[in-house]
Amino acid sequence: QKEVEQDPGPLSVPEGAIVSLNCTYSNSAFQYFMWYRQYSRKGPELLMYTYSSGNKEDGRFTAQVDKSSKYISLFIRDSQPSDSATYLCAMSAVGDDKIIFGKGTRLHILP
């Protein structure tokens, strides 16, 4: 079982829809959870950074962590064509130097 699993997509949704992106993980020691957005030919951009369980909201983006299910989500409200990108989840444990990334989900927002 891989440490972090993420559906590669592509996921195509119409403009204005709510997008749900998800990752599952196997290591219960993970406490830090991150979401990155990566446009083609660019480096990943940090979108959300959360510690332990719960929700965090930033503008149109909401990150959720469910540690009991080892499941994290990123919701994008009022999706725009400019949100079309690859979204990577990442996580690490306290005191651990390594950050483990999912392989990313390709998202297409259709105008």
Partner 1 sequence: KAGVTQTPRYLIKTRGQQVTLSCSPISGHRSVSWYQQTPGQGLQFLFEYFSETQRNKGNFPGRFSGRQFSNSRSEMNVSTLELGDSALYLCASSLAPAGSSSYEQYFGPGTRLTVT
The contact set with partner 1 (CB under 8 A) reads: 32, 34, 36, 41-46, 49, 51, 88, 90, 92-104
By C-beta, is 44 or 83 nearer to partner 1? 44
Q: How far apart are CA 34 and CA 74, in angstroms?
A: 10
By C-beta, is 79 or 84 nearer to partner 1? 84
- Lookup: tokens for 28: 């219960």
By C-beta, is 3 or 70 nearer to partner 1? 3
State the nearest-atom distance from the C-beta of 15 to partner 1, in Å.
27
C-alpha dihedral (77, 82, 85, 88), degrees to nearest 10: -40
State the nearest-atom distance from the C-beta of 43 to partner 1, in Å.
4
Q: How far apart are CA 25 and CA 42, in angstroms?
A: 26
| Paired strand residues for 105 | 87
